Amino acid sequence: MKKFLIIGLLVVIFLGTFIYLWGKSQPEVIEYEEVRPSIGTISKSTIVTGKIEPRNEVNVKPQISGIITEILKEPGHKVNQGDVIAKIKVIPDMAQLSSAESRVRLAEINLKQAETDYKRDENLYNQQLISANEFDKISQQLKQAIEEKAAAEDALQVVRDGVSKSNASASSTLIRATVAGVILDIPVKVGNSVINSNSFNDGTTIATIANMNDLIFRGNIDETEVGQITEGMPMKITIGALQDMKFDAVLEYISPKATENNGANQFEIKAAVRVADDSKIRAGYSANAEIVLSEAKNVVTVPESVLEFSGDSTFVLVPDGTETDGTKNYARHSVTTGLSDGVNIEIKSGIDTTQVLRGQQIIKE
């Protein structure tokens, strides 16, 4: 019995081996995907990285030196021109203060003398001992002395307090917005010392204000692509923090001079971004700008994967109606290609949309 089992096992192994080798000896049928050309649009574009900025940022600086005593606004607040942002307590310059005090004392002396002269000449005029013309001159000198004392006192108040009674509404101790917009930053705190802008320094920035409805995209484009763009070209802006939103933009500036960045020459570009009044774009957002460098509309297109290259010639494979061992045979057709977007390519001549092309081989598992 054991002998018959061994013989049967050997027969099964032999038959299996024979069937396997026979199958391997049969010609393999190779199948390919078939692709039909279509009419479409091919565009070549580039992506430029950059950020969103206000077109103009205005730094508000004090007109006098002093210490911040109160801050009335915060970053993000909208302000109109003239709105008070902060208040300053003046720290007077001692030389200027001494000069202003001296001017007041001198004005008081001159005023007392003018009053004495006026009273004496008034008595003489009443007794008709001097002419009206001489009395008018004395009256004029008294008025001038009164005005000079008032001016000296105002000057002293300005030096000492930063404001006088006569110009309280235009006080330089009140830091006002010079333009309308949104406050982007207030880099000072209550108690900070600030200085005014002069020929020796730029002064302390109290606040930065910008119009957030007038934004630009600023980025850099490689020198290999800068020759393909022109001012006025449309762009699509995608903001990293707002992936579901795209904004239209118009290219309005291309730098005439390159700057080196990581060993590559790049040119700065700026584009005006169109945003709605209620948009929530913030200054400094990272963004990408898509620029269409060239475009071909309503042209015959095929996937680049169906092309074959030989020297300077380009071909596609078209079924010739015959088969070899069950596999379709294909004939080469020379074509002229045009614009490519990296996936599909324009076919200028050689085939049309009625033809079928050989694509990639179908892998059977």
Instruction: Give every residue of the chain whose pLDDT is below 50, as ranges.
Output: 26, 170
User: What pLDDT is recorded for position 360?
Assistant: 76
User: What pLDDT is recorded for position 164?
Assistant: 59
The answer to pTM > 0.75 is: no
Nearest 5 degrees, angle CA 256-CA 258-CA 263? 170
**Residue range 288-347, pLDDT digits in tens:** 999 988 888 999 998 888 888 888 889 888 888 787 766 788 888 898 898 888 888 888
The two structure tokens encoding residue 10 = 């050997």
User: What pLDDT is recorded for position 318?
Assistant: 86
β-strand partners of 87: 70, 174
User: What pLDDT is recorded for position 162?
Assistant: 60
> What distance lies between CA 27 and its chain's CA centroid?
64
Contact in structure between 239 and 285 (CB atoms under 8 Å):
yes
| Burial class of residue 283 (count of CB atoms within 10 Å of its CB; 0-12, 13-18, 19+) | middle
**Residue range 242-279, pLDDT digits in tens:** 777 788 999 999 999 999 888 889 999 999 998 877 67
Question: What count of Cα atoms within 13 Å lies in the side-chain half-sphere of residue 162?
Answer: 19
If one counts every other C-beta atom within 10 angstroms of the C-beta of residue 31, the result is: 12
